[in-house]
Structure 1
Amino acid sequence: MAKLTTPSENLSLPGAKLAIAAAEAKAAEIGVPMNIAVVDASTHLLHFSRMPGAKITSISIAIDKAFTAAGHRQGTHLYKEAVWPGGAAYGLGNTNGGRFTTFGGGLPILNAKGEVVGGIGASTGTPVQDQQVVQAGVDALNKAFKGEGSLKAKL
């Protein structure tokens, strides 16, 4: 089976597909169809899925959440308090051509060494639901990077 990272430790397409499959399973479990995007460490789109019934207007939001998580190397949910008027990061959402996302549903993807190799974003549900979905994708990759469980055979 294809490796989840290349020798340069970048996220590969098989890894992105694994993350999206796990995220889609979580979205189905909670009953919310999602748009789910995975970007590489350079914030370029690597893989995208739009589940039947996911909001069309959420396509770019999912991509931008993945972009923000990979590019700034932290979850989009961490900006909630800082971006309000008077906050330390007020106006941050207007940067990067308006792509910088400051609400939940985007997480960085770390390899086994703890380096950011990409990001995953989901959108259609509430920020909490979107966060649950991307966490499932990250969890699946973490297990695969460590060679744990049934995912070990996929490496």
Structure 2
Amino acid sequence: MATKHQELLTLEGAKIAVAASEKKAREIGVDMNIAIVDASTHLLHFSRMPNAKITSISIAMDKAFTAAGHRVGTHTYKEAVWPGGPAYGLGNTNGGRFTTFGGGLPITNSKGEVIGGIGASTGTPAQDQQVVQAGVDALEAVLKGKVSAKL
């Protein structure tokens, strides 16, 4: 039987992504809920900034879940999920957790394999997207050796 070794996103790596995301949220002036999941879509780390919307907690988690589980950013579904679109109804799958608007990105390793996902919610989808992109960029900088940290 063949097996595959999968790199794992560590809690330290998740904290790096959250710290960068929180910094971006402060820069744009919107407190956020930020969730990090592992490759299996289970919650690894969560941050709720002081003025983040309580109703956005589960949305941030669901964006991370969708990005890791489907291996693409949640913003990619925008046109496909409208009535008549090829993926219409997709948002009703996975117990209603599948998210089809911006603010969720997969986290990949240096080989391009998905090792987790990040989701943010409270702002507009564009603001949420900026925040998660900052988290992904921070992890990529570590992986490329531009910043020293243990993942």
TM-score bin, normalised by smaller chain: over 0.9
One-letter amino acid of the structure 1 residue matched with residue 70 of structure 2: H
- Which residue of 2 is the match for residue 75 of structure 1? 73
CA distance in 2, matches of 1:90, 1:109: 26
RMSD of aligned Cα (Å): 0.8
Structure 1, residues 111-133: CA drift from partner, whole Å, max 9, x if none? 01110000000000000000000
Secondary structure of the 1:108 match is strand
In structure 1, what is the equivalent of residue 114 of structure 2?
116
Identity of aligned residues (%): 79
Question: 2:76, 2:6 → 1: CA distance?
Answer: 28
Displacement of 1:146:
1.2
Counterpart check, 1:39 vs 2:37:
yes
2:93 is matched with which residue?
Answer: 95
1:134-153 CA distance string (max 9 Å, x none): 000000000101111xx22x
TM-score by length of structure 1 reads 0.93
Aligned to 1:53: 51
| Structure 1 residue ranges without an equivalent (≥5) | 1-6
For 2:6 and 2:117, locate their aligned partners in 1 and report how far apart those are by CA, in whole Å: 17
Give, as a single letter, the amino acid of the residue that structure 1 aligns with 2:21: A
Letter in 2 for 1:74: V
Q: Residues of 1 paired with 2:112 and 2:86: CA distance?
A: 27
CA deviation after TM superposition for structure 1 residue 8, in Å: 3.7
Match 1:64 to one of 58, 62, 83? 62
Structure 1 stretches of at least 4 aligned residues deviating more than 2 Å after TM superposition: none
Alignment partner of 1:132: what SS? Answer: helix
- Partner of residue 23 from structure 1, selected from 18, 21, 24: 21
Q: Distance in 1 between matches of 2:42 and 2:134?
A: 21
Aligned to 2:103, which of 102, 105, 120? 105
